[in-house]
Each structure stands twice: as structure tokens, then as C-alpha cells.
Amino acid sequence: MAIHLTGSNALLLLTPKTGSTWIRRKIRELGLAFEDLGDPAMREHDLLASFDRSRYGFVGAFVRDPLEWYRSYWSYRMEKGWRPQYPLDEHCQSDDFQTFVRRAATLLPGALGNIYTSYVGAPDDEIDFIGKQENLAEDFARFLEQAGETFDRSVLFDSSRVNATTIRPDYPEELKELITLSEWETMGRFGYLADRPDPIGLAEIQARFPEDANDLRLLCLWTEKIHWAPDDKKREAGRPVAADTRYARVNSNFALFAEHKRQDAAYAGGRYREALRLDPLHPRTLCNYALHVAAHEGDTDQARSLMLRALAVRPQHPYTLGKLAGLTAGELADPELAEVFYRQSLAANANQSELRVEFANFLAGRDRLDEALALLGPEVERPEADRLTLLTHASLLARSGRVAQARDFQRRATATAA
């Protein structure tokens, strides 16, 4: 339910975990005339949409730094129990704070921003007053003054915290970074970004590609998520993951985004170089930067050198071996060596359908059709064979004069596409 101060006709909405219990106690201590409005089933937290704003002279609510809101929410649930009717509880419940934050940031990114908006309104249609839980006493005093209430300010500054949880989980910077990414727009809207570092330069790339701002934020979260399993294994083995390594991964993905989605080669080059400054020995980044150098700077020698640096770190890195095979076959015109790299790459990871097709075309281009068909043969017999593999096999069959068989595989490819 919300609080209606009847003397001033002000409405105060009670955003969860922003000091509601303290506010209720202080209103009683101040002796202000009030009534509860709303649906008791909402447990004191009715939304803005439940009220006709035009009926009140002044409408207010409070927000809280998302970093502390999530910790407080988890601690409260650990003491009082989870409530599956709420999305955060249903999808993110965990007795482990790290797991809760990881789930919340990636399964429900921006969840708190949606909660805040349901109390204070959209950015272009905000209520009259938005206070901050961090300055609860001072901001509540301002709310009462602006609403037109008469009260004794000293009462607001003479008390301890109310309804505070006793659980305080560890809060490493990595989890704070996740929440910052998840609630980026909300933290910016309410002034909580000013004290937060931006080690990956998210603000910069969003400013450069504003139409992709949300996609870029989600790209950061996805980059973090796909590395949790291997990173956790490293930590369990006593090998901590440096923050710079995590930042390098995001920079590398920013570079790929800029290069391939926005065709901004110059900006991509800068992000690749920043990634390698942070993590000079990351094989995939070295390989992708090599491809960038070859495509946009025409320096195949440097490209080859970068790929060899990657292989010096991980000699059987399938991605780099495959890209080096293509570079060697094309720009470096050394087909014998290229074939060695193709075979090494597939030996390191046989589940590379596109590379297998590339190698088959390479063999066919050297008048080795039977070998090319044999390479794709086991793959096309699988029920889940992909369309590109089927079409390539059909093309090679047609070139070898087996037209009827080629048509069969073309039909399969068409059915796969459908």
C-alpha cells in the first residue's frame, strides 16, 4: 500500500528495499495525518499505475543504488524466504549470492530499472519527487517540505536503521561490475554511475554507436556469462582470473562488433589493440586482429606473425589453425602448408563444419574432388547435417558428373532450410 498524507494531499509510493519501514515509523513519530491506500495484497508496495496522479498535489518515491539494492534484496530473501510470484525470485533464487547476481544480471537484465520505473514513472513522465535511500532522512525531509507538511526535522535525524538485515555477503568487484552492466541505464538515470569505474569503455562505444547501446550492454553480459564455467574451474585450481583478462575479452568483442556490424575498421583496430594491451597472449584476439590487419591494412606478414604468436601460446588452437590455413592458401599462396594447417585444425576440433567445407573447396580447387567428397561424406550422412555442407557436397558431386546424387543432396539442403 502507499501512504497518503491527508494534510498536504501528497502521495508517497513505497519502492521495495528503499527505506519503507523507516518512513512509516517516522510519519507516526512526527504525528502527521495519513492513510494507507491501495491493495493490501501488494504488501505496502502498490505501483504508480494503481493511482490517478491527478488526484494528488504531490507524488514521491525513493530509489536506491542498484549495487546495494541487490545485496539487500538477496539478504532479505535469505532471512524471510523466497517468493516465486516475483520474477527475480522465480528465475534467480539461490542460496549463493554470486549465483543470484549472475542469474539476475543475465536472465533479467535491467530488472531493477523496470521496478523503479513502475514507481517513479518513465524518464519523460516522472513523478514530482524522487529521493535516494542513501540520503533517506535528508531526502524525506525535502519531500515533506515540498509537499507542504509542517514537521520537526530533528525527529528524522535521531534514530537507527529499521528492518536492516543481518546478512552481509562478500561483494567482489566482479559482481558489482555485473550489476552495473545490467542496470547501466538506471544507474545513469538516477546518478549512480558517477562513482563507478568503466574499465571496458562501455560509455565510449555506446556514444559512438548510440543506436546499438542496449545490444552493446548485452554483449558485455554475454561475454561474461560464456566464460564463467572455465573461469570458475581455473579459480578452483588456484589460478585466479585477472580483471584485465575479463576486460580484454569484452574489448575484443567490441572490435568484432565495430568491424563486422558497423564496418568501422579504424575503431575496431583500436579496440583490438586495447584488448591485446590488457591480455597480450590471448589466442583468439591475436588471430582476429591478424585477420583485421590482413583485410584492412594489407599486411599479410604481420597477420601471419600474429597468428604464429597465438599458436606459440596454444599450439593446437583450432580457430587460429583454421584461419592460418585460409591465409596461407590465399594471400601467402602456399597450398602445401595450408593443407597441413587445415588438417591440424580439424584434428584439434572436428566440429568445425564451415572449416570442413572450406577445406573441401580447397581440395576441389586443386583437382582433388574425390578427397573433397570423402572429407564431407561422413558429415552429409548425418541427419543433422547443415545446409552449407549439403549444398557444397551437392556441388562437388555435380562437378564430378554425379548429377542425380547431387540433386538428392540439393533437395535435402532445401528441406533443411525450410
pLDDT along the chain (418 residues), means of 10: 96 96 95 93 86 97 98 95 95 97 98 98 97 97 98 86 73 96 98 96 98 98 97 95 96 98 98 98 97 97 98 97 97 96 97 97 97 96 94 96 94 85
Cα dihedral sign, 98-102-103-108: positive
Q: Name the β-bridge partners of 63.
A: 132
Q: What per-residue string of b and e applies to 277-313 under the rule 16 or more CB within 10 Å gives b?
A: ebbeebbbbbbbbbbbbbeeeeebeebbebbebbbee
What does pTM read for this prediction?
0.89
User: Looking at residue 298, what is its pLDDT?
Assistant: 95
Note whether 296 and 277 are within 8 A (CB). Answer: no
What local confidence, expressed as pLDDT, does residue 41 receive?
75
Provide the pLDDT for residue 162: 60
Which DSSP state fits 240? P
pLDDT reported for residue 270: 98
* pLDDT computed for residue 159 by the predictor: 66
